[in-house]
Homo-oligomer: A and B are copies of this chain.
């Protein structure tokens, strides 16, 4: 019998090395040689566990998006169904969870987002995630706004989340979560106040 339990060690190890290498040199510079060296294993092992570089990248993106989704879901579960504002804040805060705001995660997320324009597998993953975020937001917003208005505001919140991540990825200081949360809360509070504009 071979060494057992290695997959459970190697897969996260390689995924983490991938994010660190993307942080260092970008997705375009992230070769299997660099990644495997960072992980302290041979290059061939990537094919062994992920069937190739693409499989590793897909697993890495999946990991980033999964953690994001987990952060949101955990917070939602802890928030009563009738507290709309709190639930929206839970969704937003899930997207600005400190563990998600490490530079390497933010850079990896943006690199994959850009790359998914020309990679149908990554594109699919990204679309699923995007739709889930909008769906979560709409469900809450529809409790207090018209369907149309809910869709409108959900897009605003989603754009703010992504925009702040995007700008954070390219700013020396990284994502400033306090500021980001304040900006989005301000937007949401105004939208949920009685007098709807337009």
Contact = CB atoms under 8 A, between A and B. Distances in A.
A170 B25 contact: no
Interface string A100-116: 00000001001101111
B160 A159 contact: yes
A152 B113 contact: no
A82 interface: no
A156 B160 contact: yes
A73 interface: no
Nearest to A185: B198
Interface in A173-198: 179, 182-183, 185-187, 189-191, 193, 197-198
Q: For chain A, which range describes its interface: under 10, 10 to 19, 20 to 34, or 35 or more residues?
A: 35 or more
A154 to B, nearest CB: 10
A190 B183 contact: no
A91 to B, nearest CB: 15
A170 B29 CA distance: 22
A21 to B, nearest CB: 11
A123 to B, nearest CB: 7
Contact of A114 (B113, B179, B190): B113
Contacts of A117: 26, 107, 110-111, 169-170
A163 B178 CA distance: 18
Nearest to A160: B159
Given A158-B167, A166-B166, 10 more contacts: A26-B114, A110-B114, A126-B170, A152-B183, A159-B166, A162-B167, A163-B164, A186-B198, A190-B190, A190-B197
